[in-house]
Amino acid sequence: MSYKHPITVWITGLPASGKTTLGKALQGLISQLKIPVVLLDGDEVRKGLCSDLGFSPADRTENIRRVANLAALLNSQGVVTICCFVSPLISMREMARSIVGPKNFFEVFTDAPVGVCQSRDTKGNYCKAINGSLPNFTGISDSYEAPMNPSLRLNTAELSEGEAADILYDHFLRWVDK
């Protein structure tokens, strides 16, 4: 496989739609190719780089701005970056695309209905949001704007983890060879 340039794989979708699961699977597969790869996960980034931010619209936008700049920096150093972030608004993802660069930005939509995501939610966040104890929760009290034309749409309600990971990996191989 020829490796022409590093890219940012931006995986977006509702909480518990499979973003991080797929991101980790892709990271493992890319690592086997001896290509440098980093996974940036929303929960982990909020523990450090963005620990000073809340979930207001301005803070969410700043979170995505910081992550996109980090992804662009990593790409400039030859590192494939996998970003697993809800990034609920189209405007946020477009900002990320403009920072990373449209040639290097590949948006993956983990498409699953709220009910499926709620049934997968091991943290109990959907229940907390429904009960009102977790405000500004995407999919319940805050909206999610699905991508209009993602580079790849994965119906994670119907595909197994393995099937979705295989499809994502196949697309990745085509993207980095362009």
Annotated active-site positions, please? Answer: 87
- Phi-psi domain of 145 (left: phi exceeds 0; alpha: psi -120 through 50; beta: other): beta
Listed as own residue / partner, the contacts of 120-126 with beta carbons closer than 8 Å and 24 or more positions apart are 120/16, 120/18, 121/15, 121/16, 122/16, 125/15, 125/16, 126/15, 126/16
Q: Are 85 and 8 in contact (CB under 8 A)?
A: no
Contacts of 163 (CB under 8 A, 6+ apart): none
Residue count (the chain): 178
Look at residue 111 and give its three-state secondary structure: strand
- Alpha-carbon torsion (139, 144, 149, 152), positive or negative: negative
Q: Are 34 and 139 in contact (CB under 8 A)?
A: no
